[in-house]
């Protein structure tokens, strides 16, 4: 079973969640701060933390990287919560009529 928790925009995790996933939360915040200058727009829309039965974690980060343009990033961690890789996922443009 995969467990996930979501944070939207500037919402911060509650104290219990922060303590449980402090290393991951601090790491994805560092990733966000270092990646931001590379894009014309950088607004964090959604963050998900995933956990599998073996105790490994991942963080999914959806960001607005341009006008109505969104990109997913997946930060992968080992069992000691050390980041092992970053996967750039799909990008899409939001359509409005």
pLDDT digits (tens, 9 = 90+) for 58-71: 999 988 888 888 89
Q: What is the pLDDT of residue 66?
A: 80
Domain count of the fold of the chain = 1
Residue 4 predicted with pLDDT over 60: no
Residue range of the domain that includes 39: 3-93
pLDDT digits (tens, 9 = 90+) for 28-84: 888 988 887 777 777 888 888 888 888 899 999 988 888 888 899 999 999 999 999
Q: Which of 35, 40, 32 is nearest to 9 (CA)?
A: 32
Q: What is the pLDDT of residue 8?
A: 52
Phi, psi of 49 (to 5 degrees): -110, 130
DSSP type of residue 13: P
Q: What is the pLDDT of residue 40?
A: 72
Q: What is the pLDDT of residue 34?
A: 86
DSSP type of residue 37: G
CA–CA distance, 21 with 51 (Å, rounded to integer): 10
Do residues 56 and 47 make contact, with C-beta atoms less than 8 angstroms apart?
A: no
Q: What is the pLDDT of residue 1?
A: 31
CB burial string 51-82: b at 16+ within 10 A, e below = beeeeebbbbbbbbbeeeebbbbebebeeeee
């Amino acid at each position: 079973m995969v467990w996930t928790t979501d944070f939207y925009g500037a919402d911060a995790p509650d104290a219990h969640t922060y303590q449980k996933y402090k290393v991951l939360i601090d790491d994805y915040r560092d990733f966000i701060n270092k990646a931001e200058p590379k894009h014309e727009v950088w607004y964090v829309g959604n963050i998900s933390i995933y956990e599998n039965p073996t105790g490994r974690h991942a963080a999914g980060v959806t960001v607005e990287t341009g006008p109505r343009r969104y990109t997913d990033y997946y930060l992968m961690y080992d069992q000691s919560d050390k980041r092992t890789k970053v996967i750039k996922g799909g990008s899409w443009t939001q359509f409005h009529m």
